[in-house]
Amino acid sequence: MAGISASLADHVTAESGKIEKSPDAFPENRRNASAKPKKIIVAGAGIAGLCCAYELMKRGHEVIVLEASGRHGGHVYTAHDGLSDGLYGDYGQEHITKPGYDKYWGYIKEFGLEALPYPRRKNLVRRIGGKFYTEAMLTDPAILKNLGFNEKEADYLSKHPWSDLELLYKSPYLDRFTDEYQPFGLGYDELDKITMADLFKKDGASKTAMGFMSGEGVSALASLWGSAILKLRGVPLSPTELFRLKGGNQMLPNAFAKRLGERVLLDTKVLSIVQGLSGVTVTCKQHDEEKVFSAEYLVNCIPLTTFRNIPIEPALPAEKQYIFDNVTYDSYQRFVFQASSKFWLKDGLSINMELNHPDLWEVWQSADEVDTTRVIVLGTGAGGISPQRALAAFREVYPGKRDTIEQAVSKDWTKDSYCPSCERTAFPIGEFHKFWPLIMQPHGRIHFAGAYADNLNWGTEAATRSANRVAAAIHEA
Q: What is the pLDDT of residue 73?
A: 96
Distance CA 473, CA 372 (A): 47
Angle at 64 between CA 58 and CA 69, to 5 degrees: 125
Q: What is the pLDDT of residues 13-32, one digit of tens each?
A: 434 444 344 445 555 555 56
Q: Which helix (H) or strand (E) is 96 found in, with range? A: strand 96-97
Kindly give, in sequence order, each residue whose CB lies less than 8 Å from that of residue 442, ignoring residues fewer than 6 positions away: 448, 470, 473
Distance CA 74, CA 77 (A): 7
Distance CA 352, CA 394 (A): 12
Q: What is the pLDDT of residue 32?
A: 60
Identify the CA nearest to 198 among candidates 183, 187, 210.
210
Distance CA 207, CA 220 (A): 18
324 three-class SS: helix
Distance CA 466, CA 468 (A): 5
Q: What is the pLDDT of residue 3?
A: 27
Distance CA 110, CA 255 (A): 10
Q: What is the pLDDT of residues 296-355, one digit of tens each?
A: 999 999 999 999 999 999 999 999 999 999 999 999 999 999 999 999 999 999 999 999
Q: What is the pLDDT of residue 423?
A: 86
Per-residue pLDDT of the chain (477 residues; tens, 9 = 90+): 222 222 223 344 434 444 344 445 555 555 566 668 999 999 999 999 999 999 999 999 999 999 999 999 999 999 999 999 999 999 999 999 999 999 999 999 999 999 999 999 999 999 999 999 999 999 999 999 999 999 999 999 999 999 999 999 999 999 999 999 999 999 999 999 999 999 999 999 999 999 999 899 999 999 999 999 999 999 999 999 999 999 999 999 999 999 999 999 999 999 999 999 999 999 999 999 999 999 999 999 999 999 999 999 999 999 999 999 999 999 999 999 999 999 999 999 999 999 999 999 999 999 999 999 999 999 999 999 999 999 999 999 999 999 999 999 999 999 999 988 888 999 999 999 999 999 999 999 999 999 999 999 888 999 999 999 999 999 999
Q: What is the pLDDT of residue 421?
A: 84
List the beta bridge partners of residue 265: 66
Kindly give, in sequence order, each residue whose CB lies less than 8 Å from that of residue 200, ignoring residues fewer than 6 positions away: 169, 209, 210, 213, 215
Kindly give, in sequence order, each residue whose CB lies less than 8 Å from that of residue 198, ignoring residues fewer than 6 positions away: 215, 220
Identify the CA nearest to 108 among candidates 230, 253, 239, 238.
253
Identify the CA nearest to 48 among candidates 122, 115, 11, 103.
103
Q: What is the pLDDT of residue 34?
A: 65
- For 294, other C-beta atoms within 10 Å of its C-beta total 14
Distance CA 273, CA 315 (A): 10
Distance CA 364, CA 378 (A): 5
The pairing of strands 268-275 and 312-313 is parallel
